[in-house]
A and B are shown apart, each in its own frame.
Chain A
């Protein structure tokens, strides 16, 4: 288990893994770089996918995820870096010889062929005789539950069925790895969620390694054993869904996955100073910092605890007093917008002036009061215990936060 984790997170150990075949990664890419004209689309990207594992490449449009998939499939060549499939380097190998299965965004089922013919295509071009193709096609049709659709044409079946056919078509010739190119984005939400669970279960059962490309973070969390976040061609972080969510290494990762509050402060004398009166005790995961260095404080809405204005709050970290400026009700939970209040020189409670630019930083330079606006999330029951409305004053505490160099 430790070795698998190592190989996944630290591709330099690929060579080590290759000496021990049972730990061989099904797919690994190292230092992939690709330029289109002047634009650097992929910048030194490395990751790997183990046998039976699924990895999700998650990122916004233009982050380079589709390019990565095309480089792995062999539809494009990288400017530098290598792609290793099934233990063999495939940089010089054409797409047809790489033995990968690609499920495209709109499935690309051949329109002139029936479902059965589509599934059998990979075998047909490998010169497998029709008599030997039939049982494979039948077995796959049963696997995806579409035996009764075998004579239908691609335009006669639904999107969800088409995706299943695309998967069966790829599985027919037993590829080393399956690559899914945003293949759920063309489906309506009702079909999407059950289908992706079904496909996840199917891949698990078959122990087929898979790489998913998506910009939908909910999909990423559900589909992947590991998630890799791509931003403008750079791999920001790679880890399990809970690692990525609870322990983001960069601001981008923190804000891309779920909501995040970001405050800026200054490191001074072992504390993070958010403004002249507010400071945070450091979390254990604070990176080594020098005095005066800027720090980003990141926490999620559910990490915030709210108490009454005059009460005490039992959280490890405190943000002082705040005022509710908005309450959003979403059924199971409540999202509150809280403006943190600060004290003026005279000690009176002042409503701070709005500052331009990032939260807090400009105010540290000229000692003016800072304005911090954060979002807090409470469950229905917490909301019942302490009902809050716009204008209410509260005490704000933090259960946890993450500190990153600014």
Chain B
């Protein structure tokens, strides 16, 4: 009697062999194959087709190496700027309450919502030869902002603007005010409190914010292609190099840099995930 009842009431999930598990996992992988996994594999397979020596030869073309160096440089500068700004903005918005603070937060977060081509175009409209400021710059100074490395950095700063802020602000919001109160009653000045008490607790958020900004920035294309002028050996970043080489028909050249970019991005994102897990501790 008991055995009959048990089998009648037990559902599929109660049985020792759950069909859902292999089927579910299989479906997920099957969907990912043509959409994600195979495209990525193609980059590596094609890149290694002629062997590692040939791969290295293509990779060490001066324009190729320059594009990687330029990408690393512009992304690093943009990262440093946005992390510093993110820290400042997060501290001010978290500590002080003022009219317009929520509006300010929305404006800070806006850049990620704007299409990158639009962002690049906007920068041109400001700094370009006929731009709002650029017009006067061109007439009265030797200063050129557009089609320089500075332009790339400006574009990168714009599109990755809120990323570090978005990580640092919650960390500051969660920060226990009583630590600051304790430091203050012990005689610490605002700076001393910030440096000795607040900053050390933000280490994780700062690193994660920096990694996120860097990862996003190194792959930036839409805005860069508009403001940089895409001059090889001068203002051509790695993504631009891939695009240009492909258009010229040099698939091998494009492929080599694509592999490098993919590897760098993987490495950075893996660091981010590793760090996040350690932070959850």
**Residues of chain A at the chain B interface (Cβ within 8 Å):** 73-75, 94-102, 104-106, 108, 110-112, 121-122, 125-126, 169-170, 173
Contacts and interface: CB of A to CB of B under 8 A. Distances in A.
B181 A108 contact: yes
Given A104-B178, A106-B178, A121 B196 contact: yes
A173 B187 contact: yes
Interface string B157-189: 000000000000000000010110111111111
Given A108-B176, A110-B179, A110-B196, A173 B186 contact: yes
Given A121-B188, A125-B183, 20 more contacts: A73-B185, A74-B184, A75-B181, A75-B185, A95-B185, A96-B187, A104-B182, A110-B196, A110-B197, A111-B201, A121-B186, A121-B196, A122-B186, A122-B187, A125-B186, A125-B187, A125-B188, A125-B189, A169-B186, A170-B186
Given A108-B179, A111-B201, A102 B185 contact: yes
Contacts of B181: 73, 75, 95, 102, 104, 108
Contacts of B178: 104-106, 108
B158 to A, nearest CB: 34
A154 to B, nearest CB: 11
Interface of B: 176, 178-179, 181-189, 192, 196-197, 200-201
A97 B184 CA distance: 9
B184 A75 contact: yes
Contacts of A173: 186-187
Contacts of A122: 186-187
Contacts of A126: 187
A6 B149 CA distance: 77
Contacts of A73: 181, 185
A265 to B, nearest CB: 49
A228 to B, nearest CB: 21
Contact of A95 (B176, B184, B196, B197): B184
Among A95, A97, A100, A106, find the residue whose CB has the most chain B CB atoms closer than 10 A.
Answer: A95
B49 to A, nearest CB: 51
A173 B181 CA distance: 16
Nearest to B190: A96
Nearest to B195: A125
Contact of A100 (B176, B185, B197, B201): B185
A99 B176 contact: no
Contacts of A95: 181, 184-185
A112 B186 contact: no
Contact of A96 (B179, B188, B197, B201): B188
A98 B188 CA distance: 11
Contacts of B200: 110, 112
The 3 closest A-B pairs by CB, nearest first: A108-B182, A112-B200, A108-B178
A168 to B, nearest CB: 12
A96 B179 CA distance: 14
Contact of B192 (A100, A104, A125): A125
Contact of A101 (B184, B185, B188): B185
28 contacts: A75-B181, A95-B184, A95-B185, A96-B187, A98-B185, A99-B187, A100-B185, A101-B185, A102-B181, A102-B182, A104-B178, A104-B182, A105-B178, A106-B176, A108-B176, A108-B181, A110-B179, A110-B183, A111-B201, A112-B200, A121-B183, A122-B186, A122-B187, A125-B186, A125-B188, A170-B186, A173-B186, A173-B187
Contacts of B179: 108, 110
Contacts of A105: 178
B188 A74 contact: no
A105 B196 CA distance: 21
A112 B192 CA distance: 15
A94 B176 CA distance: 21
Nearest to A169: B186
A112 B201 contact: yes
Nearest to A117: B196
Contacts of A97: 187
Contacts of A102: 181-182, 185
B185 A125 contact: no
A110 B176 CA distance: 11
Nearest to A98: B185
Nearest to B180: A108
Contacts of B192: 125
B177 to A, nearest CB: 9
A225 to B, nearest CB: 23
A108 B185 CA distance: 12
Among A97, A98, A104, A170, find the residue whose CB has the most chain B CB atoms closer than 10 A.
Answer: A104
A96 B185 contact: yes
A108 B176 CA distance: 8
A114 to B, nearest CB: 13
